[in-house]
Structure 1
């Protein structure tokens, strides 16, 4: 990969400083690096383009794709800043109108600060044992009661239980359950220590009342998906707040 991506923590925001020459051959690796930043669930992700040049303008579409994911989950601002003149002119085109752009990193920081709002978050560290799904339901129930979301009690409990059961049944690692309330969605995410796409397999048999699979999550949630992390993955689902 001819593009370097250096990530730093600016309070609750992440800043990804890109340098080198971006071409189509770099898009796949850069996309994964930026998705890993989103998986950390920061309050905002700022992309510093000041040291980046282009070898193929089409490679800029990677930012559209990552911004789309940021909007779906974790629902955070994704901001481009400090592009050199040629790249900046291209980013003004209609194809990139959905991606916010700022002339400097400081301007992007200030904008992210204005958009900051106090998040409602509950999280728990869970062992991959039989009682984990029950604890996940308890956390989801607690979140909905605290935040006055009675209509989401049942679906949130189901989604949390299934995401955790999938880790218990297949990943067998420690996991972090995180429930976050944002303006339009209740987000439920489970991070585990196994890389790769989560298994979408329904466990059959009367003896098992859990682990019925991600098909239930897909049927219940407004949207769901997964992102890679440095040492595993995050599987997430969103429930629309009425």
Structure 2
């Protein structure tokens, strides 16, 4: 889709986040493609300040937009909303596998991403008692997997491992297998994210 912004006026910086969000929900690149063009100086500054061109191509005019239509953005991103259900972890693994295959992520990184997404979504179901949004983001050098829940439960921390327990090792796996990880607190929940370094460009 090509969107002409020449007549669009916006005073709220948060508004421009609708473009990458819509692209991710629609399936993300390359399943869905979006190029913005014709923005005036104020709108362009707002888009750049929000780093929108990282995930959505930005062109000066229609001709340039057509040239960018098939080009991969600096970041590619996909979302999947998952229910509070035991089957959510399996759905997360399938979604991550599909995303990695589309973006040509190395198999070793894909397998780790599948495992960690499953653990994080399981945590949302079992401990936060919440549905979740799984987001996968790819760049030329890293893959990020994040899971947002909608519960005000305490921010998780790894607990001592109980060698006799079947569960309870999720965050230990996250810490051991990722290059970095963290938690963002929201008013109505939290997002746990992990970064995986790619062996080679996607």
Q: Structures share a fold, TM > 0.5? A: yes
Aligned match of 2:54: 116
Is 1:234 paired with 2:171? no
Is 1:154 paired with 2:111? yes
Going from structure 1 to structure 2, the CA distance change for 1:165 and 1:114 (only over 3 Å counts) comes to closer
For residues 203 and 170 of structure 1, the distance between their equivalents in structure 2, rounded to whole angstroms, comes to 17
Pairing of 1:1-242 with structure 2 (within 5 A)? 8-12=13-17, 108-109=45-46, 111-112=48-49, 115-117=53-55, 118=73, 119-149=75-105, 150-195=107-152, 196-201=154-159, 204=162, 208=166, 212-242=169-199
The alignment's TM-score, normalised by the length of structure 1, stands at 0.52
Query: 1:205 Cα deviation (Å)?
Result: 7.3
Q: Which has the higher strand share?
A: 1
Going from structure 1 to structure 2, the CA distance change for 1:129 and 1:204 (only over 3 Å counts) comes to farther
Going from structure 1 to structure 2, the CA distance change for 1:230 and 1:143 (only over 3 Å counts) comes to same
Higher relative contact order, chain-length normalized (CA < 8 Å, sep 6+): 2
Query: 1:212 Cα deviation (Å)?
Result: 2.6
Going from structure 1 to structure 2, the CA distance change for 1:128 and 1:205 (only over 3 Å counts) comes to farther
For residues 107 and 144 of structure 1, the distance between their equivalents in structure 2, rounded to whole angstroms, comes to 31
The alignment's TM-score, normalised by the length of structure 2, stands at 0.62
For residues 134 and 203 of structure 1, the distance between their equivalents in structure 2, rounded to whole angstroms, comes to 24
Give the count of matched residue pairs: 151
For residues 137 and 171 of structure 2, the distance between their equivalents in structure 1, rounded to whole angstroms, comes to 20
Q: Tell whether the 8 Å contact from 2:17 to 2:52 is kept in structure 1 after alignment.
A: no
Going from structure 1 to structure 2, the CA distance change for 1:145 and 1:172 (only over 3 Å counts) comes to same
Query: 1:176 Cα deviation (Å)?
Result: 0.6
Structure 1 alignment gaps of length 5 or more: 1-6, 14-39, 42-104
Structure 2 alignment gaps of length 5 or more: 1-11, 22-41, 56-72
Going from structure 1 to structure 2, the CA distance change for 1:219 and 1:114 (only over 3 Å counts) comes to closer
Q: Tell whether the 8 Å contact from 1:191 to 1:232 is kept in structure 2 after alignment.
A: yes
For residues 140 and 199 of structure 1, the distance between their equivalents in structure 2, rounded to whole angstroms, comes to 24
Aligned match of 2:4: none
